[in-house]
A = this chain, B = another copy of it.
Amino acid sequence: VHRTGSIDLVTESDSRPGTRVERKERTRRAILDAALRLCEDSSLVALSLRQVAKEVGVVPTAFYRHFESIEDLGLALVGESFVSLRAVLRDVRRSDPTFEEIIDTSVESLLDHVDRQRSHFLFICRERFAGPPAVRAAIRHEIELAETELATDLEHLVTSMGASPWSGEDWKALANLFVRAMVSTVEAVLDAGDDGQAQKEVAERTRTQLRLVLVGALNWRSRP
């Protein structure tokens, strides 16, 4: 006869172990993952509750035990997608790069996160304009927060390089420029898909662009 271990495995694959709370959480997770996967080549607004339920392997009505609607599910996905995006900023900050390294470090970290959380970044790009109104609003809000966060980092960085003092408006414009560069790069990487060569070209082009912006910033005088 077999060991207890193998019996556990069978139990695991058949009826799924854990407390009621754990099992509910696992189903919720499966719903979020299924939704992320299913809307990858269209949009939340074209995703049906029944498709999601079918993909997860539950009956359509079970969906309501976890979310009120697809829009509600979308808001949860916005939350966890921006955890992925913030992780990029956090990693760059933690690595505390020198002047010479800053661009290479940032681009590398960004591409690394995009590669590992591809569906989160795709989700943001797609639903930012095409999602249900509440989802669009949530994404816009999160992007503003990320911009503010980055503005602080940039102020420390550029000031430490001895650039001349800037106006508040100019800081905002620079932070916005970087956030846009980030979003655009994510878009380009996602466009490139699995093509490794294309991804390298995107990375190299992004580095060139960021260097160019940095040259501009270091030669900048506010209110010229």
Binding site for B on A (CB under 8 A): 41-43, 45-46, 122, 125-127, 129-130, 132-133, 140, 169-170, 172-174, 176-177, 180-181, 183-184, 187, 191, 204-205, 208-209, 211-217, 219-220, 224
Highest count of chain B CB atoms <10 Å: which of A130, A170, A180: A130
Contact of A43 among B130, B212, B216 (CB under 8 A): B130
* Closest B residue to A217 using CB positions: B212
* Complex-state Cα separation, A139 to B49, whole angstroms: 29
Highest count of chain B CB atoms <10 Å: which of A42, A184, A214, A216: A216
Q: Is the CB of A209 within 8 A of B130?
A: no
List residues of chain B with CB within 8 A of the CB of A180. Answer: 180-181, 184
Q: Does more than half of chain A's interface fall in helix, strand or loop, or is it mixed? A: helix
* Complex-state Cα separation, A205 to B147, whole angstroms: 14
A72 → chain B, closest Cβ, in Å? 17
A188 → chain B, closest Cβ, in Å? 8
* Closest B residue to A214 using CB positions: B216
A193 → chain B, closest Cβ, in Å? 11
Q: Is the CB of A220 within 8 A of B212?
A: yes
- Pairs A-B, 10 closest by C-beta atoms: A216-B216, A130-B130, A45-B46, A43-B130, A173-B208, A180-B184, A215-B216, A212-B216, A126-B129, A42-B45
* Selected A-B contacts with CB under 8 Å, 18 pairs: A42-B45, A43-B45, A45-B45, A45-B46, A46-B46, A122-B129, A126-B129, A169-B208, A170-B208, A174-B209, A177-B212, A180-B181, A211-B224, A212-B216, A213-B213, A215-B215, A215-B219, A216-B219
List residues of chain B with CB within 8 A of the CB of A41. Answer: 133
* Closest B residue to A205 using CB positions: B173
* Closest B residue to A127 using CB positions: B130
